[in-house]
Structure 1
Amino acid sequence: MSLTASLDDTSVAAEPGAETALPLQVLNSGSTVEEYRFEVVGACAAWSAVEPAVLSLYPGDTGTVSLMLRPPRDSTVPAGETPFGVRVVPTGDQGGTVVPEGRVTVLPFTATTAELVPRSSHGSLGGRHRFAVDNRGNTPVTVRLAAQPGSELARVDFADPELRIEPGRAEFGKLRVRPAKRMWRGAPVTHPFQVSAAPQPVAEGQDAPEPVLVDGSYQQEPLLPRWLPRALIVAAVVLIALVGLWYALLRPAVKSAAREAVTPEAVRSAVEADPSRSADGGDPGGADSAGGDSAGGDSAGTGTDGGTPGSSTSPSPGPSADAGASTPTSAQVRVSDAVGGGANTGTALRVPAGQTFQLTDLVVQNPQGDAGTVVISAGAETRVLSLGLENFRDSDYHFVTPIVVPAGGTVTMTIDCRRVGRPVGAPAPSRCTESLFLGGTMKPATGG
């Protein structure tokens, strides 16, 4: 072999961001002039070079080149020992290539940056932040987090006081700023504070790097918002207006409907059924209450139209009672009538022989919003109600003194249609259609 190459030192330490030179001795032991080329092999080849890159030697001469080690000062080159080799290739005799080997130790360094996200917060009970710490060094680092409030009116707490960060990575520490006292009302108060990230030494005897300081602020807001007093005043004004509307308009209308429900026929029938009641003994024929209209309330226990222009009835009396016992009974009827065709009557209930029916409750429905008249009759001569269809959608009536219908008597509903209504979101009907639901008690008829 006509080539001898050796490193002055097989182990060298390189500082990131600096340049380290390692001499390489080359001896031409051949008999001809030879030119040599140099190649660095190993993980450090990206940041190493041989200067000069080409060396010519006469026979028996010795030359020196330098292996220049330039590790970058960032996290791409980790700290620690890395093997390498320098391939010396003779131009004339490439089979005589030699590769002297060595080891380079990249020294560790620490570089950290920090950022507070968000820089400022606000709230009535506290503010939340994240403290982002970035390790730009080439070795893992442990960072201790601390905070110093700007005053005694707020305190800063970390969820985890330490973070371990790998090279080239960032970690987040959660922190919360809490006010020392709650503020119920008033102007917002700003509390400044400062947080620090202090890297710990990576090796014994090494000085600790300077901590990174970041400023932040927390704005304490009152628990009661500024708009609350105004909202309470507006709510009080609206409540007073609603109460005034009730006493001025709605309550008189309810009383008027209750008085209209008491017809002379109903009073006369009640007095005949119970002679013990008189005008001097109480209220012989008054109605307890009459429900107001419920516009748009199209739902009630209406039956189905039987397909005829007349009416369809569906009485639903309770179970038959023994002699002397009263039985709760209910019934309903649905009546349809065409415009201009005259009145149409439907029977809701027919009292069986040997029984009397005491009518106590009525519910009249006008779900389509028809116009015309409706008459509710009990017995042959008693007209209980006479209403204008355009004045209601649903009306209910409850009688303290029952209206007595004798055996063989009927409870009917008569409709006289003047205009067919149109329900919202439904096809226009061709007839007026109303329904009646009644309730009361069926009792055996008494003799004499």
Structure 2
Amino acid sequence: MAVSATLRTTEVRVAPGAGARCHVLVRNSSAVVDQFVFAVRGDVADWTQIKPARVNLMPQQEVSVELTFMPPRSWEVLAGEHPFALQVSSREDPGGSVVQEGTVTVDPFTELDAVMVPETSNGRRTGRHTIAIDNYGNHSHRAEVSATDPDAKLTFRVRPHAPMLEPGTATLVRIRARPKRYFWKGPERLLPFTAHVVAKDHEPIDVPGAFNQGPLIPRRVYWLIAMLFTLMLMLVLLITFLLRQKPVSIATISPSVTSTPTSTSATPTTTSTRPRPTTTAKPTKPGGGVNNANGNGGGNGSGDDASNRSNTTTFTINSGAYPNVGGGPQLFSYVVPAGPNYRVTSVVLHNPAADTGQVQLRHGNQVLGTYDLAQVHGEFAVQLPDPPLVAPGDRVTMAVSCTNRRGACTPSGQFTAALVR
């Protein structure tokens, strides 16, 4: 064998970022001058230096070769034992090369970093956060993760609580922040807290965060409820208005002179005649028949007084009252036109459809009589005991309360009025 090599130290310990040395004694055992080349094999070769890298030796001459191990402070060089081999190659005798083996032990170091995403969460019941813990060290180890808030307004759930951190990786830890008290409405409340990452041989890491708590009912819900309530109120008012606003039948006629007590036309007709016998109905009770024993007229042409000899006019009030409408009876009026004053002497009520309900005759705020429609069959003559005096602009009204099961009530009233001179 042309060469011999002796590794003085087979085990070397080194800290990451530092350096450690060992020596190899190389001897030329041949009888000729030879050149020797040194090379390190294994994963330590990238961070190992050899001095000298090659040497020429005389026969029986020896030299000390220095190996310097300098692992970087990085997770790429893991903590623990790293075997290596020093190969000594002879130029003159390639087959006589030798190899010396040893071990380099790299010490562990811990280096961590943590960041929270998102830093501020928004919610009504729960805030969700994620902490990314980066392990820049060269060994695996556990860390404890917890969270606290200065005002003790939050409770926390950390999963996992003690994760295993692998070198060169990022480990995700989920934190749920839940408020101890909720509120229904009002502005949002910012609740800050701090997450703590604690690992052996490393200073604790504090990561700030915050939970922006909102009300249980968002503000837009109140706006929506208010809009819906307003729309419903407007709809109810519109329906009520449409049900109560029924067409009022007003016979807009002008006073005229007629020769008969009644006229079926809404437009008055005027004739000039001498007084002649007329047939009129006796006064009636509110809801009953005629207060006359024989039921016939109470006068003739020879017994007419000045009022009977005066000119007369008629007007008709038609109605169309819907049943079961709240708010009181439905009003159908006649407004006295400009001209002289008249005195309403009699009324003939018509109920051809046999409606049920009640009709009330009014002059302004004065009630002239109230009658049950069920007792009005066909025509029902009413002689007013105290004939009201109506002037231009006065309102004569039929107030109808309809109780039909279906269909509107359509009673009408034919009024006879005498001219007051």
Q: Assess same fold via TM > 0.5.
A: yes
Q: Does 1:241 pair with 2:208?
A: no
The CA deviation string for residues 264-314 of structure 1, in whole angstroms up to 9 with x for no partner, is xxxxxxxxxxxxxx955869xxxxxxxxxxxxxxxxxxxxxxxxxxxxxxx
Query: CA–CA distance in 1 between the matches of 2:65 and 2:197?
Result: 45
Structure label with greater radius of gyration: 2
Q: Report Cα offsets for 1:64-91 as digits up to 9, x if no partner.
A: 1211212222222222222210111122
> Given that residues 150 and 191 in structure 1 are in contact (C-alpha distance below 8 angstroms), is that contact kept between their aligned partners in structure 2?
no
Q: 1:209 aligns with which of 199, 202, 205?
A: 202
What percentage of aligned pairs have identical amino acids?
A: 34
| Partner of residue 47, structure 2 | 47
Partner of 1:138: 138
CA contact (8 A) 1:135 1:141 kept: no
Q: Can you list the C-alpha shifts for 1:403-434, whole angstroms capped at 9, x where unaligned?
A: xxxxxxxxxxxxxxxxxxxxxxxxxxxxxxxx
Q: CA deviation at 1:46?
A: 2.6
Partner of 1:59: 59
Structure 1 counterpart of 2:186: 186
Paired amino acid for 2:231: V
The code of the aligned residue for 2:234 comes to A
Aligned to 1:104: 104
- Amino acid in structure 2 at the alignment position of 1:243: V
**1:23 pairs with 2:16:** no
Which secondary structure state, in structure 2, belongs to the residue aligned with residue 234 of structure 1?
A: helix
Answer yes or no: is the 8 Å Cα contact 2:132–2:170 preserved in 1: yes
Query: What does residue 224 of structure 1 align with?
Result: 217
8 A Cα contact 2:159 2:175, kept in partner? yes
What value does the CA root-mean-square deviation take over the aligned residues?
3.1
Q: Distance in 2 between matches of 1:251 and 1:84?
A: 106
Residue segments in structure 1 that go unaligned for 5+ positions in a row: 201-207, 260-277, 284-398, 402-448
Residue 227 of structure 1 deviates from its aligned partner by 3.5
2:115 corresponding residue in structure 1: 115
Distance 1:280 1:238 in 2: 40
Distance in 1 (CA, whole Å) between partners of 2:120 and 2:356 is 77
Q: Which moved more, 1:83-92 or 1:230-239?
A: 230-239
Q: Residue 233 of structure 1: CA displacement?
A: 2.8
2:90 equivalent in structure 1: 90
- What is residue 160 of structure 1 aligned with on the other side? 160
Deviation at 1:129, TM superposition (A): 0.5
Q: Which residue of 1 aligns with 2:70?
A: 70
Which residue of structure 2 aligns with residue 204 of structure 1? none
Q: Which amino acid is 1:32 matched to?
A: V
Q: 1:282 to 1:226 in 2, by over 3 A?
A: closer
Equivalents in 1 of 2:356, 2:192: separation in Å? 79
The Cα of 1:145 is off from its aligned counterpart by 0.8
Runs of 4+ aligned residues of structure 1 deviating over 6 Å after TM superposition are 250-253
Assess, with a 3 A threshold, how the Cα gap between structure 1 residues 250 and 115 changes in structure 2: closer, same or farther: farther
Residue by residue over 1:37-75, the C-alpha shift from the partner in whole angstroms, topping out at 9 and shown as x without a partner, is 111112222322312211222222221121121222222
> What is the deviation of 1:187?
2.3
Letter in 1 for 2:240: Y
CA distance in 1, matches of 2:244, 2:90: 116
Rounded Cα–Cα distance in structure 2 between residues aligned with 1:224 and 1:281: 54
Task: Give the match for residue 252 of structure 2.
Answer: none
The 3 A distance-change label for structure 1 pair 187 and 51 is same
Q: CA, structure 1 residues 237+159, in 2 after alignment: closer, same or farther (shift >3 Å)?
A: same
Asked if the contact 2:133–2:171 (Cα under 8 Å) also holds between the matched residues in 1, the reply is yes
CA gap 1:250/1:81 in 2 versus in 1, 3 angstroms = farther
Please report how far the alpha carbon of residue 249 of structure 1 lies from its aligned counterpart in structure 2 after TM superposition. Answer: 4.3
Aligned to 1:4: 4
Q: How far apart, in 1, do the equivalents of 2:112 and 2:244 lie?
A: 77
Q: CA deviation at 1:197?
A: 1.3
Distance in 2 between residues matched to 1:113 and 1:56, nearest whole Å: 51
Letter in 2 for 1:181: R
Q: Deviations over 1:341-367 (max 9, x none)?
A: xxxxxxxxxxxxxxxxxxxxxxxxxxx
Q: Secondary structure at the match of 1:99?
A: strand
Distance 1:59 1:232, change over 3 A: same
Q: SS of the residue aligned with 2:27? A: strand
Q: Structure 1 residues 180, 282: closer, same or farther in 2, change over 3 A?
A: closer
SS of the residue corresponding to residue 233 of structure 1 reads helix
C-alpha separation in 1, matches of 2:224 and 2:244: 28
Q: How does 1:346-361 map to 2 (within 5 A)?
A: none
Aligned-residue offset at 1:30: 2.2
- SS of residue matched to 1:219: strand
- 2:186 and 2:240 mapped to 1: Cα distance? 40
Q: How many aligned positions are there?
A: 262
Structure 2's unaligned 5+ residue stretches are 247-319, 324-351, 358-404, 408-421
1:225 partner amino acid? P
Query: What are the superposed Cα offsets for residues 10-55 of structure 1, whole Å, 9 maximum, x if unpaired?
Result: 1111222222211111112223322211111122223223122112
CA shift for structure 1 position 163: 0.4
Which whole-Å CA distance do the structure 2 matches of 1:43 and 1:222 have between them?
A: 60
Q: Which amino acid aligns with 2:25?
A: Q
| Conserved? CA contact 2:12–2:21, under 8 Å | no
Q: Which residue of 2 aligns with 1:404?
A: none
Residue type matched to 1:41 in 2?
A: R
2:20/2:68 contact within 8 Å kept: yes
CA distance in structure 1 between the aligned counterparts of 2:194 and 2:94, rounded to whole angstroms? 65
Q: Secondary structure at the match of 1:17?
A: coil
The 8 Å contact of residues 118 and 130 in structure 1, kept in 2 or not, is answered as yes
In the alignment, the residues of structure 1 paired with residue 77 and residue 191 of structure 2 have an alpha-carbon distance, to the nearest angstrom, of: 42
Secondary structure of 2:219's counterpart equals coil
